[in-house]
Amino acid sequence: MELFLMTLITGILVGGIYALVALGWVLIYKCSGVLNLAMGELTLIGGYVTLTFYEMGIPFILAVGCTLIIGVVLGFLTERIFLDKLIGEPILAVIMVTVGLSFFFKGMVEFTWGTDTRVFQPAIFSIKPITLGFLMISPVYLWSFILAIVLLIVFVSFFKYTRWGLSMQATADDETAALSLGVSARFVYAAAWSIAFMSAGVGGALLGNINGLNISVGHLGLIVLPAVVLGGLNSVPGAIVGGIIIGVLQNLSGAYLDQYFPGGVKEIMPFAFMAVFLLFKPYGLWGWERIERV
């Protein structure tokens, strides 16, 4: 029971970070119907940008703030340079462009920062575990979870209470109606990519604090895809719940199944669970169900 509870709590804490990255997937899909396959590289870029600011002597929280600003700029430029001309084109064409962007971003990261594992030095979080009864929780997991939840609350509040956020929701619900009301689709798409860069980037910085920062962090960004699908591709609450589910599932499978199936069952299990889940809920927990009448 002690092992189960510790594994469960750690899974929930890691799941909060996954939820932050999943938010970037959901935003772009809600606004444009595009599955952004470069999200892993967005996570990777954010981690390295935060590390660069931290190594310059900037405190970690301020480094995260600088990463958010850089994310806005990079998201805007990416949408304007690579995707703006594709508005109205077939969705598959846009998805293939995101595949190209993933290789481009990965190459830029390797060229700029190399491929060796790098860690935040001096360590940001204490290595001494926090003891709650018989449970011991690593501070890096706890504080990363708290920061992820704070940013999730900020992003959700932005969509719910600001004019820009409401414009993005309106475009996602009915682009034609939003355009007739004067909403700029170009602005909405650029804002979606900017926020995706922000949320994925901070997620990458937090994941880099846990296991170090290298190219494999980009693969962790792709592990979030099952969380997005489980919650529903266009559901922000679904992204949060899906991220926590995948975090728990990963940790439980690692704790109980790795001894029987060594060699990466922890990474495979979320995708296997997603495949079985979609047989019964094709649109996820809160995804919009498409009904076609003939």
pLDDT tens, residue order, the chain (294 aa): 777 888 888 888 888 888 888 888 887 887 777 788 888 888 999 999 999 999 998 999 899 999 999 999 998 998 888 888 877 678 788 888 999 999 999 999 999 998 888 888 888 877 777 777 777 788 888 888 888 888 888 877 887 788 877 777 777 666 677 777 777 777 888 888 888 888 888 888 888 888 788 888 888 777 888 888 888 887 878 888 888 899 899 888 888 887 777 777 888 888 888 888 888 888 877 766 655 555
Exposed e or buried b per residue across 66-83, where buried means at least 16 C-beta atoms within 10 angstroms of its C-beta: bbbebbbebbbebbeebb
CB atoms within 10 A of CB 103: 11
- List, in sequence order, every residue forming a beta bridge with 213; answer none if it has no partner: 118
For residue 264, the model assigns a pLDDT of 74
* Spatial separation of the C-alpha atoms in residues 238 and 163, rounded to whole Å: 23
For residue 291, the model assigns a pLDDT of 55
DSSP designation for 84: G
Q: What is the pTM assigned to this prediction?
A: 0.86
* Spatial separation of the C-alpha atoms in residues 17 and 227, rounded to whole Å: 11
Q: What are φ and ψ of residue 288, in 5° steps?
A: -70, 125
For residue 104, the model assigns a pLDDT of 92
Instruction: List, in order of start, the domains of the chain with CATH numbers.
Output: 2-280 (1.10.3470)
